[in-house]
Amino acid sequence: PVVEPEGMSISADRRKLYLLSFRDISELRRLDRMRSDFVANASHELRTPLASLRGFIETLQGPAKGDPAAQERFLSIMLEQATRMSRLVDDLMSLSRLELKSHIAPDQRIDLKPVLSHVRDALLPLSDDLGVEIRMHLPQEPVEVLGDRDELVQVFENLIENACKYGQDGKVVDVHLKGGGDEPAEVIVTDRGPGIPSEHVPRLTERFYRVSVADSRSKKGTGLGLAIVKHILTRHRARLIVRSQVGEGSEFTVRF
Ligand code: ADP
């Protein structure tokens, strides 16, 4: 409600202004809550690399002062830690942006064929590096969905990158695109990696959830990739279906 100060009359325009400012305050409160959640999560995850950076700086200032070989080694570890922190901040910001628009359904008509080809090209340096071949199985006809191109690129980048990273030993990752016309569109990413024990599958899309400590040590990642995938797919009214067999590999299906 607009409260008129006693003895003053407020013109219609001023009234509108007051109303606007009341609305802005409730929006600000909501943003404030989200910001404090974001800060809590981010600070927890950033603490480890920051502590290690401080440790290295102290070593460089003290014991390693006259030792160029040690300095070089420490500096390259420090660069790795700083890169990890940037990746974390980028992912956290993606999540926080997605939360802000979670109630708006994306509405561009998107053909998934060029989206998937673009993602394969973007991941070539990584897949080459890991010695993994990404095989695309695309139909002749376009397969259209209503969506947001950049967000869909992010979904398939995360899924195919995971298949390459965790399924590296299987050497091949298959990406099938199905549907179009009256059939629902489906993208299936299959790897021949170690698979995921079934008790972990329901928790994969939780923020910062990683299946094993070995994964977080040996594979670069933030534990936020599948949380981002889930947020984007919810906005797209699409589902993520995970099938996995330990020792045989994993299959991540996006069904629109
Ligand atoms: P990360 O940044 O750790 O890759 P994600 O949210 O993308 O985070 O994945 C969460 C965890 O799920 C990973 O740390 C890994 O343990 C597991 N995971 C994801 N994809 C696969 C896969 N294709 N094969 C085996 N494990 C996987």
* DSSP element (H, E) containing 41: helix 12-61
| Protein residue whose Cα sits closest to atom 11 of ligand 1 | 210
Q: Please name the residues in contact with 110: beta carbons below 8 A apart, sequence gap of 6 or more.
A: 144, 145, 146, 147, 148, 149, 152
| 4: DSSP letter | P
Predicted ipTM of the assembly:
0.99
| Protein residue whose Cα sits closest to atom 7 of ligand 1 | 225
Predicted TM-score (pTM) of the model is: 0.81
- Tell me the per-residue pLDDT of 146-155, one tens digit each, with 9 for 90 and over: 999 999 999 9
Question: Which residue among 204, 218, 254 has the greatest number of ligand 1 atoms within 8 angstroms of its CB, and so is best to mutate?
Answer: 204
- Is residue 251 within 6 Å of ligand 1 at its C-beta? no
Question: Mean pLDDT of all residues in the chain?
Answer: 88
- Is residue 205 within 6 Å of ligand 1 at its C-beta? no
Q: Which residue has the tokens 């091949």?
A: 172
Percent of the chain with pLDDT over 70: 87
Does the pLDDT at position 60 exceed 70? Answer: yes
Split at pLDDT 50, 70, 90, the class of 4 is very low
Mean pLDDT along residues 12-22? 63
What is the C-alpha R_g of the chain? 24
| 10: DSSP letter | -
| Protein residue whose Cα sits closest to atom 27 of ligand 1 | 166
- Is residue 159 within 6 Å of ligand 1 at its C-beta? no
Distance separating alpha carbons of residues 88 and 59, to the nearest angstrom: 25
- Tell me the per-residue pLDDT of 159-211, one tens digit each, with 9 for 90 and over: 999 999 999 999 999 999 999 888 899 999 999 999 999 999 999 998 888 89
Mean pLDDT along residues 41-49? 81
pLDDT of residue 207: 84
Does the pLDDT at position 2 exceed 60? Answer: no
pLDDT of residue 30: 75
- Is residue 222 within 6 Å of ligand 1 at its C-beta? yes
* DSSP element (H, E) containing 50: helix 12-61
Question: Which residue among 162, 175, 243 has the greatest number of ligand 1 atoms within 8 angstroms of its CB, and so is best to mutate?
Answer: 162
- Tell me the per-residue pLDDT of 110-130, one tens digit each, with 9 for 90 and over: 999 999 999 999 999 999 999
